[in-house]
A and B are shown apart, each in its own frame.
Chain A
Amino acid sequence: MGLAAAGYDPLLALGALWRGAFGSWYALTSATLVRSIPLIILGLGVALGFRTGVFNIGAEGQFYAGAIAATWVGLQVAGWPALAAIGAVWTAAMAAGTLWIVVPVLLKVRFGVLEVISTLLLNFVAEAMVSYAVTGPLMEAKRIYPQSDPIVAAARLPALPGSRLHLGFLVALVLAILFWWLFSRTAWGFRLRAVGLGPRAAEVSGRISSRRVVAVALLCSGALAGLGGGVEISGVTYALFQNLSPGYGFTAIAVALLARNHPIGVVCTGLLFGALEAGAQGMQREAGVPAVAVQVTEAVIILVIVLAEVLVRRTGTVRASRPGAEER
């Protein structure tokens, strides 16, 4: 409707959206799935924080920190075997993502500074760092474009033949399963969950140090986002440049929220948003609709789902909560 009002052929546009996301084997694997990889990894990181009751809004910054570290290491590992090279790149990316959130963690634990603000602000710092890196120390040898040289071949992820779908997708799925296992089956995940749902009770009745758990959760969240950056460098772009991320770190927040922080849900919503963004490219190419329209669509989808959930919850809880309220 909105598209028609804006003067575009809505059927053509939606068709293009569909074809861009699922229209061909190539579209599915090389556009949708590839785009969903960082969304899933970052979404898991954000969800891990949410589960523990903290809001890491800085996944974008940690992603960039991871990408910078991954690029630098990826340029140093010439001659290494692939396994070691990739391992080094990812380790560096995770370390950088973790490091990028250390300051917000210290501020929060020591002084109670809201992590929402500190992590958000560090996003801008990270983007500036990328600008500096690609025009300075990491700038390509030819010194023409503000981008890095491509990382060595050994550090690049193998891709599915005939597509751009790389090993990172498997990594994302494994991480989601690991996340699920940690939260549902281990004492470690249980502590995070308890602190997220009832920090006072966790402390008084569970003798859990909420601060420590919160710190650990934020550091892990940062590590995941950093790894997301490393996977993107080693699997897709092979090089660092500005605007490497089309806002993955922010979309990841929606991915996590929409999935209600459930890891399997994160995979599904990550795929959904990956498809939308891939389709947006198609829509722009074929129907001339600006990709912004897809962002509008994304927003509408989120609102509809949130609204549906509220409605379901309301009808579901009237019965459940009222008798309890009587007890008071």
Chain B
Amino acid sequence: MTPLLELRGIRKSFGPVRAVRGADFSLAAGEVHALVGENGAGKSTLMHIAAGMVPPDAGTVHVDGQDVRLQSPRDARELGIGMVHQHFTSIAGLTVGENLELAAGRLDPSRGSGGTGWTASGVGARLMEGLPPKALASDLSVAQRQRLEILKALATGARILLLDEPTALLTPAEVEELHGLIREFVASGGAVALITHKLREVLGTSDRVTVLRRGIVTLRGATAEQTEQSLAEAMIGSEGIASREERSGGQRGPFAALGVAVGIGEILLRAGELVGVAAVEGNGHRELLRAIAGLEQFPGVRVTGSVAFVPEDRTAEGLIGELSLTENLVLGLGADPRWARGARLDWTAARQRTTELIEAFDIIAPGPDARAGTLSGGNQQKLLLARALERQPAVLVMENPTRGLDVRTTEEIHRRLRAAASDAVTVIVHSTDLDEVLALTDRVLVVHRKEVREAPRGADRRLVGEMMLGVGTPSLRSGQSGQRKR
């Protein structure tokens, strides 16, 4: 059977960087084909080529067996290829209906707004459930915006959907729902290429999987024959990957003096604890974390000791891309005696410290004078973590510490967080990836409608998931830290 979409011998370089070095990829009707790899492995480039956004240096693209030359995203759309990007592309000031009409190329301003000339059928109709056509895109929740993105691709008549990390921002329940919709779409004859970092997602939803490493396909085959281990090995090579079981637990130093007290229900957090915060978007966990960091208000939060905060949005809130690594270090640490000379700043001293941190944290950067914006996401995160720990905080707060990072960097960040905890830092982590919270932390706080509860020790993802949704767990209000393990 002819595949719907086939990429053959694709090569693409950006300047000196060889992003894709001869990769094949095919997508048959009725299948979900997962495309995985580390950051910079070339997956996005490959999909951008399939979507007509980037021309390949070599290689061919075939749609329905026909050799096609995609000059622009429009060409791809006309052939039924729709790309759903990681970042949202809806226009915030337009309604759902208008966004869809715009995507379908039928928005007629003279006709006025409101009408949805584009009518959804099949999967589209299911996606439309709970998406009021007259609601403004800016009023939608994250999950709703994600749906809108997919609907927009469908509105162009796409048979082939290229999804770039579609579940990065969704809660477990929303992820499952999305997976159901993906299955439904392929069952009706469509095909989906799914870029993801989450191995569990690959194993759970895809029929076939292709692994890229440094622009080369290192594994291709039926998903049923793969394990997390085999995929991870193909992604990062044969260097050892600690399994989740080995990583969690372990011995920790004695608990030192108290670090944070979160008011509601008197949940006391102590030095050296790794605490997870789980919540569905919009329940106040952001405010909780930021209140601990001293940036916002949240009832009853009391903090003793200094707090370092690593925000989720690395380039908008964490770093200033236009400034150098050194300057970003100084930004976060302020008038540190090592470089503050009265009103003057001793940049030489700050630069030297930055160089040391680059070394210590394995940050891949041209040097301390490089602009932070030129670093990859993983290296930016390492820089942020280095800077946060440089304050020698009593408490470290991190939002989505490994969002968008590859397996190796994720491991590294986790390792460093554990190391910080064993140095008696109270580490508080929120992640939209519940598995990450459960695997990384000793205690899990769940925020539901601005109320903080502690999950019982050893609670599984199902129980925590229910708490996140507020499914009756009245008895879980924890008193002291009795459930902590020694």
Contacts and interface: CB of A to CB of B under 8 A. Distances in A.
Interface of A: 185-188, 190, 193-194, 197-198, 200-202, 204-207, 318-320, 322-328
B319 A205 contact: yes
A204 B295 contact: yes
B316 A201 contact: yes
18 contacts: A187-B345, A193-B323, A194-B327, A194-B331, A197-B323, A200-B313, A201-B320, A201-B331, A204-B317, A205-B311, A206-B331, A206-B334, A319-B16, A323-B15, A324-B373, A326-B40, A327-B39, A328-B87
A205 B332 contact: yes
B343 interface: yes
Contacts of B17: 322-323, 326
B44 interface: yes
Given A204-B317, A322-B14, A322-B17, 7 more contacts: A185-B344, A185-B347, A186-B345, A190-B330, A194-B320, A318-B15, A327-B44
A197 B320 CA distance: 7
A207 B373 CA distance: 20
Nearest to A187: B345
B335 to A, nearest CB: 6
A326 B374 contact: no
B343 A188 contact: yes
Contacts of A326: 14, 17, 19, 40, 42, 44-45
A190 B344 CA distance: 10
Contacts of A324: 373-374, 376
B319 A201 contact: yes
Contact of B316 (A186, A188, A198): A198
A200 B315 CA distance: 10
Query: Which of A205, A320, A325, A327 has most chain B Cβ within 10 Å?
Result: A205
Interface string B339-354: 0100111010000000
Contact of A327 (B40, B317, B334): B40
A161 B295 CA distance: 60
Contacts of B390: none
B404 to A, nearest CB: 8
Q: What are the 6 closest A-B residue pairs judged by CB atoms, nearest first?
A: A198-B320, A322-B14, A319-B15, A323-B17, A204-B317, A206-B331
Given A186-B345, A323-B17, A205 B331 contact: yes
Contacts of B319: 198, 201, 205
Given A186-B343, A328-B44, A328-B86, A205 B318 contact: yes
Nearest to B340: A187
Nearest to B318: A205
A161 to B, nearest CB: 39
B185 interface: no
A201 B318 contact: yes
Contact of B377 (A185, A188, A327): A327
A324 B364 CA distance: 13
Contacts of A205: 309, 311, 317-319, 328, 331-332, 387
B456 interface: no
Nearest to B378: A327
Contacts of B316: 198, 200-201
Contacts of B330: 190
B322 interface: yes
Contacts of B19: 323, 326
A185 B345 contact: yes
Contacts of B45: 326
Contacts of A318: 15
B321 interface: yes
A198 B343 contact: no
A197 B15 CA distance: 27
A190 to B, nearest CB: 6
A322 B15 contact: yes
B332 A206 contact: yes
Interface in B58-98: 86-87
Given A206-B331, A327-B40, A190 B321 contact: no
Interface in B23-57: 39-40, 42, 44-45
A200 B319 CA distance: 9
Given A185-B345, A190-B330, A322-B14, A201 B40 contact: no
B214 to A, nearest CB: 12
A187 B343 contact: yes
B473 to A, nearest CB: 33
A202 B320 contact: yes
Contacts of B327: 190, 194
A201 B318 CA distance: 5
Nearest to A181: B344
Contacts of A325: 14
A321 to B, nearest CB: 9
Contact of A200 (B16, B317, B335, B344): B317
Nearest to B374: A324
Nearest to B332: A205
Contacts of B44: 326-328
A257 to B, nearest CB: 17
A201 B343 contact: no
B40 to A, nearest CB: 6
A316 B311 CA distance: 31
A56 to B, nearest CB: 21
Contacts of B340: 187
Contact of A198 (B42, B322, B334): B322
Given A186-B343, A322-B14, A207 B318 contact: no
